[in-house]
Structure 1
Amino acid sequence: MDYLYQPYTSKRTSAISNKGMVATSQPLASQAGLDMLKKGGNAVDAAIATAAALTVVEPTSNGIGGDAFAIVWMKDKLYGLNSSGHSPSTISIGSLKEKGYEEIPKYGFIPVTVPGAPGAWAELSERFGSLPLTEVLAPAIDYAENGFPVTPVLGKFWEAGYNKFREVLEGEEFSHWFDTFAPKGRAPKIGEVWKSPGHAETLKKIAETKAEAFYHGEIADKIDNFSKEYNGYIRKKDLQNFQPQWVNPVSVNYRGYDVWEIPPNGQGMVALSALNIMEGFDVQSKEEVGTYHQQIEAMKLAFADGEKFIADEAHMKVGVDQLLNREYAAHRRSLIGEEALQPEAGDPPKGGTVYLAAADSDGNMVSFIQSNYMGFGSGLVVPGTGISLQNRGHNFSMDPGHVNSLEGNKRSYHTIIPGFLTKDNKAVGPFGVMGGFMQPQGHLQVIMNTIDFHLNPQAALDAPRWQWMENKTVWVEPDFPIHIAESLRRKGHNVEVQVETGAFGRGQIIWKDEETGSLFGGTESRTDGSISAY
Structure 2
Amino acid sequence: MKSLQFSSKRMCVYARRGMVTTGNALASSAGIRMLEKGGNAVDAAIACAAVLCVVEPTANGLGSDNFALIWNKDRLYGMNSSGRSPALFSKEAVQAKHGKDTETMPVSGWTPVTVPGAVAGWVSMHEKFGSLPFEQVLEPAISYAENGFPIGQETARMWNKGYEKAKKNWKGSEYDGYFETFGCTVKPGQIIAEKSIAQALRDIAGTRGKSLYEGRLAARIDEESRKHGGFVRKEDLAAHKVQWVDPVSIGYKGYEVWEIPPNGQGITALMALNTIKHFPYDKHVHIEAIKQAFANAKAYITDPDWMKTDYHALLSESFGAHCASRIDLNQAKEHGPSDPACSGTVYLCAADQYGNMVSMIQSNYMGFGSGIMVDGVSLQNRGADFSLSEEDINFAGPNKRTYHTIIPGFITKDGKAFAAFGVMGGYMQPQGHVQVVTNMIDRHMDIQSALDAPRWMWDRNNVVHVEPGMGEETVAWLRAKGHTVVIENEYSLFGRGQIIVRMENGVYCGACEPRTDSNIACC
| 1:161-183: CA deviation from partner (whole Å, max 9, x where unpaired) | 0000000111111121010112x
- Report the counterpart of residue 113 of structure 1 in structure 2: 114
Which whole-Å CA distance do the structure 2 matches of 1:477 and 1:12 have between them? 18
Shift in Å at residue 87 of structure 1?
A: 0.3
Query: Given the alignment of the two structures, is residue 172 of structure 1 paired with residue 173 of structure 2, yes or no?
Result: yes
Match of 2:507 in 1: 518
User: Quick one: which of 327, 330, 349 aligns to 1:336?
Assistant: 327
Normalization by structure 2: what TM-score? Answer: 0.97
Contact 1:373 1:391 in 2 (8 A): yes
Letter in 1 for 2:398: G
Deviation at 1:320? 1.6
Matches of 1:232 and 1:169, distance apart in 2: 16
Unaligned runs of 5+ in 2: 1-5
Q: Does 1:481 align with 2:471?
A: yes
Alignment of 1:363-378 (within 5 A): 363-378=355-370
Judging changes above 3 Å, is the alpha-carbon distance between structure 1 residues 179 and 40 closer, same or farther for their aligned structure 2 residues? same
2:60 to 54, 59, 62: 62
Q: 2:499 maps to what in 1? A: 509
- Counterpart secondary structure, 1:137: helix
Question: 1: distance between equivalents of 2:323 and 2:333?
Answer: 12
AA aligned to 1:432 is G
**Distance in 2 between residues matched to 1:254 and 1:242, nearest whole Å:** 35
What is the CA deviation profile of residues 101-138 of structure 1, one whole-angstrom value per residue up to 9, with x for unaligned ones? Answer: 32110000000000000000100011100001100000
CA distance in 1, matches of 2:185, 2:303: 36
Partner in structure 1 of residue 189 of structure 2:
191
Mapped to 2, the partners of 1:9 and 1:163 lie a distance apart of 30
Shift of 1:318: 1.2
- Structure 2 counterpart of 1:139: 140
Alpha-carbon distance between aligned partners in 1 of 2:65 and 2:7, rounded to the nearest angstrom: 37
Q: Does 1:389 align with 2:379?
A: yes
For 1:367 and 1:73, the matched residues in 2 are separated by 9
- Aligned-partner Cα distance in 2 for 1:121–1:144: 18
- Tell me the residue number matched to 1:160: 161
CA deviations 1:409-460 (Å, max 9, x no partner) are: 0000000000000011100021000000000000000111111111111111
Preserved CA contact (<8 Å) 2:103 2:389: no
Q: CA deviation at 1:282?
A: 2.8
State the match for 1:315 in structure 2.
Answer: 306
Q: Does structure 2 retain, via aligned residues, the 8 Å contact 1:10–1:459?
A: no
Alignment-derived partner of residue 265 in structure 1: 263
Post-superposition Cα deviations, 1:60-83, rounded to whole Å, max 9, x if no partner, equal 000000100000000111100000
Shift of 1:401: 2.8
Q: CA deviation at 1:188?
A: 2.0
SS of the equivalent of 2:201 reads helix
Distance 2:145 2:129 in 1: 26
1:403 Cα shift? 1.5
2:319 touches 2:343 (CA, 8 Å); kept in 1?
Answer: no
| 1:318–1:351 CA contact under 8 A, matched in 2 | no
1:489 and 1:351, CA in 2 relative to 1: closer, same or farther beyond 3 A?
A: closer
Contact 2:318 2:343 in 1 (8 A): no
Determine what percentage of the aligned residue pairs are the same residue. Answer: 51
User: Within 2, Cα distance between the matches of 1:266 and 1:44?
Assistant: 21
TM superposition shift of 1:361: 0.6
Residues of 1 paired with 2:159 and 2:121: CA distance? 26
Equivalent residue, structure 2, for 1:233: 231
User: Where do 1:7-86 residues align within 5 Å?
Assistant: 11-86=9-84
Give the Cα separation in 2 of the matches to 1:187 and 1:419. 34
Cα distance between partner residues in 2 of 1:392 and 1:98: 20
Residues 139-168 of structure 1, C-alpha deviations (whole Å, 9 max, x = no match): 000000001011111110000000000001
The equivalent of 2:3 in structure 1 is none
Taking a change above 3 Å as real, the CA distance of residues 264 and 10 of structure 1, as seen in their structure-2 partners, is: farther
Instruction: Quote the Cα distance in structure 1 between the aligned partners of 2:447 and 2:132.
Output: 30
Change (3 A) 1:525 1:365: same
Counterpart residue type for residue 287 of structure 2: I
**Contact map agreement 2:321 2:343 (CA 8 A) in 1:** no
**Aligned residue type for 1:267:** Q
Paired amino acid for 2:306: H
Matched residues, number: 514
**The residue matched to 1:440 in structure 2 has which SS?**
helix
SS in 1 for 2:70: strand
Letter in 2 for 1:21: M
Q: Distance in 1 between matches of 2:319 and 2:84?
A: 31
In 2: Cα distance, 1:129 partner to 1:178 partner: 36
Report deviation, 1:400. Answer: 1.7
1:10 positional shift:
6.2
Letter of the 1:88 counterpart: P
Candidates 437, 451, 475, aligned match of 1:461: 451
- Per the TM alignment, residue 487 of structure 1 is displaced from its structure 2 partner at its CA by 0.9
Change (3 A) 1:236 1:340: same
Query: Is the alpha carbon distance of 1:238 and 1:406 closer, same or farther for their aligned partners in structure 2, counting shifts above 3 Å?
Result: same
- The aligned residue for residue 338 of structure 2 is 346
CA–CA distance in structure 1, aligned partners of residues 77 and 318 of structure 2:
28
Following superposition, the deviation at residue 494 of structure 1 comes to 0.3
Unaligned 5+ segments in structure 1 are 1-7, 284-290
In structure 1, give the amino acid aligned to 2:316: N
Shift in Å, 1:350: 7.4
Compared with structure 1, are the counterparts of its residues 364 and 509 closer, same or farther at alpha carbon in structure 2 (3 Å cutoff)? Answer: same
Which of 403, 408, 418 is the equivalent residue of 1:413? 403
**d(CA) in 2 for partners of 1:189, 1:9:** 22
How far did 1:9 drift?
11
Q: What secondary structure, in the 3-state scheme, does the structure 1 residue paired with 2:411 have?
A: strand
Which residue of the partner structure matches residue 298 of structure 1? 289
Distance 1:10 1:432, change over 3 A: farther
State how far apart, in whole Å, the 2-side matches of 1:364 and 1:275 are.
26
Residue 525 of structure 1: how far off its partner (Å): 0.5
| Alpha-carbon distance between aligned partners in 2 of 1:495 and 1:262, rounded to the nearest angstrom | 31
Q: Which amino acid aligns with 2:167?
A: R
**Cα distance between partner residues in 1 of 2:334 and 2:52:** 39
The residue type equivalent to 1:359 in the other structure is A
**SS state at 2:362 partner:** strand
Q: Equivalent residue for 2:518?
A: 529
Whole-Å separation in 1 of the counterparts to 2:409 and 2:8: 24
Taking the aligned partners of 1:482 and 1:84, their CA distance within structure 2 comes to 41
* Superposed CA offset, 1:489-517 (max 9, x none): 01100000000100000000000001x21
CA 1:350–1:109: 2 relative to 1, 3 Å: farther
CA contact (8 A) 1:513 1:520 kept: yes
Quote the offset at 1:97 in angstroms: 2.0
Counterpart residue number, 1:3: none
For structure 1, which segment, 325-334 or 215-224, has the greater mean C-alpha deviation from structure 2 after superposition? 325-334
**1:254 aligned partner, one-letter code:** Y
Give the aligned partner of residue 287 of structure 1: none
Matched, 1:274 2:272: yes
The separation in 2 between residues aligned to 1:97 and 1:388, in whole angstroms, is 25
